Amino acid sequence: MAKKQVTIVDIAKELNISPSTVSRALKNHPDISKKTVKLVQECAKRLNYQPNIMALNLRLGKNNTIAVIVPEIVHYFFSSIVKGVEEVAFDEGFNVMLFRSKESYERELKITNSLINARVAGVLASLSKETDKYEHFQKILDNNIQLVFYDRICIGIITDRVVVDDYAGAMTAVEHLIHTGCKRIAFYCSPTHLEISKNRRNGYLDALRKHKLPVEKELMFVCDTREQAMELTPKVLAMDNPPDAFFAINDHTATGILYAIKQAGLRVPEDISICGFSGGDLALACDPMLTTVEQHGYEVGKTAAKLLIDKIKGVTHGQFTNRIVKTKLMVRGTTRKV
Amino acid sequence: MAKKQVTIVDIAKELNISPSTVSRALKNHPDISKKTVKLVQECAKRLNYQPNIMALNLRLGKNNTIAVIVPEIVHYFFSSIVKGVEEVAFDEGFNVMLFRSKESYERELKITNSLINARVAGVLASLSKETDKYEHFQKILDNNIQLVFYDRICIGIITDRVVVDDYAGAMTAVEHLIHTGCKRIAFYCSPTHLEISKNRRNGYLDALRKHKLPVEKELMFVCDTREQAMELTPKVLAMDNPPDAFFAINDHTATGILYAIKQAGLRVPEDISICGFSGGDLALACDPMLTTVEQHGYEVGKTAAKLLIDKIKGVTHGQFTNRIVKTKLMVRGTTRKV
DNA sequence: TTGTAAGCGTTATCAC
DNA sequence: GTGATAACGCTTACAA
């Protein structure tokens, strides 16, 4: 049954040498004779020896695991980030632990505690929507665990950050709508306490101002899911002076808008234009295909993981780094040609 | 700088008692007096003591980490599975390590080796498309690591499995097409060496036979991406006797078919029906919304994780278990009403 | 009720 | 070149 694991001592006994010699031979220590090295490595292979990383970590006070906390897993942007993290970590010999905060502060708290217990080498985190206290992240730093925030960053904690260029992305999107002739652009946004909401909102507002369009409060709505959009949009279309374009904070919301507009018998983009924010396959499945701002989650993940691993390895980038990953406007069928 | 971690010995010194007493007090051992317990736990909190799980695992020969190997991360079905796994693991006090095989045998090999080094307690795996040798998984079992396959299972290895009901799902889908009046149903499928391909293909074939429809080789194609579908479908529509329905092995492919049919000026579902296989938001973004077979990846993940953790805990379900997660046909707009 | 000591598998330090 | 020993942080017989 429980076949005991092969240890360095087993090899030592087998060869009638000491464990320390085996240890050295296994890692090609220069002091050890070629003969012994060969002997040991052969024996290790024969006995199917696998070094015990837990023992090694304990001895060396190190750890080759990093943790990623995501608000959601089934989510184009966040899963792209995880993909990027896994990619870099794998190449660098790190393992990735995955945690989902479920947008819950409580859960985030439990997660950060278990990360401290597990003595992971580093943490990549994006705040849950609920989170407005940050001691648990400070505690991570206090325990000498490296920390990098991505996307939903934490302003209160001094550490590295990787964000998407929300402001410029939104600005570019809204300018595109303006350039294609839209005058009254509605904005569907998440609750404004989130940094990304603020930034995208500012991009929207500044684009309007830059092009001398009036900012109208009644064209800005808190609405960030498909379901909400399907319910809200008919009402918006029934306004006295309805918008001629919609800018949505994510593509799910945009698909809801598209659906409602078609239901109302209006044409996209002839009558009304739509622009989303996210990227991914959802935009391609729409008819017409959705114009959207691609966020390059994969890049965000890779950048954040590199930053984190550099910090773990002690490669300093200056005191603390702020990386911005550029967005890209993907012009497709839900906006008009110039 | 490197603030040393607080250990059980620090608490012992602080209180002038022995480390073993501290250890026992920390876990409410009945032998220890209430007073000491209280004292120790207070002190632990005060010094911000965090148990070192690595040391604990080493001592106990245990490990509270399980690994999931997925072929792809940015993928509705697989990410749903990961979500289910994380959910169950979190509740049971296990951490989840995530690995992406990238559909590569080589990578799968590296992953399984590093899992053995890491001495994870268990592994959840779905085969890469390339994989046709299985020694690396046998090696996992040989190292006393629990193993459960999900979705793309490995017939050659005797262990627990969780699969989706591909055969019945496909059968139900094709029968639905038949019931709504379709007579010539094309099938877009993945390469047939995969179990899921075989099973869905058999479901398709048996549905045709059951309803006395001819099986026509020229209506079956190897095609499993949106891009391939966009390229292939116009040719299929130009056949002498074109199909009046398409059944696709995944929703991405189905969206490609939908696109091509509309481009050809045909109506869905009036002229041609489409049914996909996957589930998720992609189907809802289509116009009309896609009729598809929902695979319940979240359930698959939860089931697999429960099975694995039960095995780790030594709860036996009989010698080895085979679980089937039911699919569900989601009838929407790309198929006709009865 | 508490303390002592051994050991989990590994490596670093110091001998020889 | 190689070996003995201690240590990483923790638990658990066994002893007191």
Residue B336 in domain: no
What is the model's pLDDT at position B132? 86
Candidates B57, B100, B284; nearest CB to A255: B284
Tell me: do A182 and A213 sit in the same domain. Answer: yes
Tell me: do A154 and A171 sit in the same domain. Answer: no
Question: Does position B51 have pLDDT exceeding 60, yes or no?
Answer: yes
Tell me: do B13 and B88 sit in the same domain. Answer: no
What is the model's pLDDT at position A88? 98
Q: Which residues of A touch B140 (CB under 8 A)?
A: none
Report the Cα B29 to chain-centroid distance in Å: 40
Cβ of B19 near strand C (distance < 7 A): yes
Residue B81 in domain: yes
Q: Which residues of A touch B285 (CB under 8 A)?
A: 255, 282, 285-286
Q: Nearest residue to D2 (CA, C1')? A: A21
* CA of A46, C1' of C16: distance in angstroms: 31
Q: Choose between B116 and B261: higher pLDDT.
A: B261
Q: Nearest residue to D6 (CA, C1')? A: A59
Tell me: do A274 and A176 sit in the same domain. Answer: yes
* 3-state DSSP of chain B: CCCCCCCHHHHHHHHCCCHHHHHHHHCCCCCCCHHHHHHHHHHHHHHCCCCCHHHHHHHHCCCCEEEEEECCCCCHHHHHHHHHHHHHHHHCCCEEEEEECCCCHHHHHHHHHHHHHHCCCEEEECCCCCCCCCHHHHHHHHCCCEEEEECCCCCCCCCEEEEECHHHHHHHHHHHHHHCCCCCEEEEECCCCCHHHHHHHHHHHHHHHHCCCCCCHHHEEECCCHHHHHHHHHHHHCCCCCCCEEEECCHHHHHHHHHHHHHCCCCCCCCCEEEEEECCHHHHHCCCCCEEEECCHHHHHHHHHHHHHHHHHCCCCCCCCEEEECCEEECCCCCCCC
Nucleotide nearest to A10 (CA to C1'): C9
Strand C-proximal residues of A, range 2-61, CB below 7 A, are 4-5, 7-9, 19-20, 23, 26-27, 49, 51-52, 55-56, 58-60
The model scores a pTM over 0.85: yes
Token pair of B107 as six digits: 């990578």
What is the model's pLDDT at position A194? 81
Tell me: do A147 and A229 sit in the same domain. Answer: no
A-B interface: how many C-beta pairs under 8 angstroms?
139
What is the model's pLDDT at position A71? 97
Query: Minimal Cα–Cα distance from A253 to chain B, Å?
Result: 10
Tell me: do A119 and A234 sit in the same domain. Answer: no
Mean pLDDT of chain B: 94
Tell me: do A189 and A281 sit in the same domain. Answer: yes
Q: Which residues of A touch B262 (CB under 8 A)?
A: 287
* CA of B60, C1' of D15: distance in angstroms: 23
Residue B314 in domain: yes
Cβ of B15 near strand C (distance < 7 A): no
Residue B149 in domain: yes
Query: Minimal Cα–Cα distance from A210 to chain B, Å?
Result: 33
Question: Does position B26 have pLDDT exceeding 70, yes or no?
Answer: yes
Which residue from A208, A170, A215 is spatially nearest to A189, judged by alpha carbons? A170
Query: At B11, is the pLDDT very low, low, confident or very high (cuts 50, 70, 90)?
Result: very high
| Bases of strand D lying below 7 A from some protein CB | 1-5, 7-13
B276 with B254: CB under 8 angstroms? yes
| Bases of strand C lying below 7 A from some protein CB | 1-5, 7-13
B122 with B308: CB under 8 angstroms? yes
CATH code of B170's domain: 3.40.50.2300
Candidates A63, A86, A143; nearest CB to B50: A143
What is the model's pLDDT at position B317? 62
Residue B20 in domain: yes
Tell me: do A289 and A195 sit in the same domain. Answer: yes
What is the model's pLDDT at position A319? 77
Tell me: do A234 and A312 sit in the same domain. Answer: no
Query: Minimal Cα–Cα distance from B282 to chain A, Å?
Result: 5
Q: Nearest residue to C9 (CA, C1')? A: A55
Tell me: do A158 and A190 sit in the same domain. Answer: no
Q: Report the residue of B98, B109, B259 to disrupt the A interface, i.e. the one with the largest count of A CBs within 10 Å.
A: B98
Tell me: do B120 and B215 sit in the same domain. Answer: no
Tell me: do A203 and A290 sit in the same domain. Answer: yes
What is the model's pLDDT at position B314? 84
Q: Which residues of A touch B74 (CB under 8 A)?
A: 76, 79-80, 83, 280, 298
Contact call for A5 and B144, based on CB within 8 A: yes
Q: Report the residue of B281, B286, B290 to disrupt the A interface, i.e. the one with the largest count of A CBs within 10 Å.
A: B281
Residue B288 in domain: yes
Q: Which residues of B touch A90 (CB under 8 A)?
A: 99-100
C-alpha dihedral (B234, A273, A249, B283), degrees to nearest 10: -30
Contact call for A97 and B99, based on CB within 8 A: no
What is the model's pLDDT at position B165? 96
Residue A59 in domain: no
Query: At B2, is the pLDDT very low, low, confident or very high (cuts 50, 70, 90)?
Result: very low
Orientation of helix A8-15 relative to helix A19-26, angle to 10° = 110
* CA of A31, C1' of C14: distance in angstroms: 15
Residue B171 in domain: yes
Q: How many CA atoms lie within 13 A of A333 on its CB side?
A: 13
Split chain A (338 residues) into runs of 10 and give each run's mean pLDDT.
75 92 92 92 92 92 94 97 98 96 96 93 94 92 93 91 97 98 97 88 98 97 97 97 97 98 97 97 97 98 97 80 96 95
Domain count across chain B: 3
* 3-state DSSP of chain A: CCCCCCCHHHHHHHHCCCHHHHHHHHCCCCCCCHHHHHHHHHHHHHHCCCCCHHHHHHHHCCCCEEEEEECCCCCHHHHHHHHHHHHHHHHCCCEEEEEECCCCHHHHHHHHHHHHHHCCCEEEECCCCCCCCCHHHHHHHHCCCEEEEECCCCCCCCCEEEEECHHHHHHHHHHHHHHCCCCCEEEEECCCCCHHHHHHHHHHHHHHHHCCCCCCHHHEEECCCHHHHHHHHHHHHCCCCCCCEEEECCHHHHHHHHHHHHHCCCCCCCCCEEEEEECCHHHHHCCCCCEEEECCHHHHHHHHHHHHHHHHHCCCCCCCCEEEECCEEECCCCCCCC
Neighbours of B238 (CB within 10 A): 9
* CA of B29, C1' of D13: distance in angstroms: 15
CATH code of A39's domain: 1.10.260.40
* CA of A60, C1' of D12: distance in angstroms: 25
Averaged pLDDT for residues B102-122: 94
Taking CA–CA distances from A116, the nearest residue in chain B reads B50
* CA of A261, C1' of C15: distance in angstroms: 84
Q: Which residues of A touch B57 (CB under 8 A)?
A: 54
* CA of A157, C1' of D3: distance in angstroms: 50
What are the tens digits of pLDDT across the range B283-306? 999 999 999 999 999 999 999 999
User: Which residue range forms the structural domain that includes residue B36?
Assistant: 8-51
B26 with B41: CB under 8 angstroms? yes
Contact call for A98 and B99, based on CB within 8 A: no
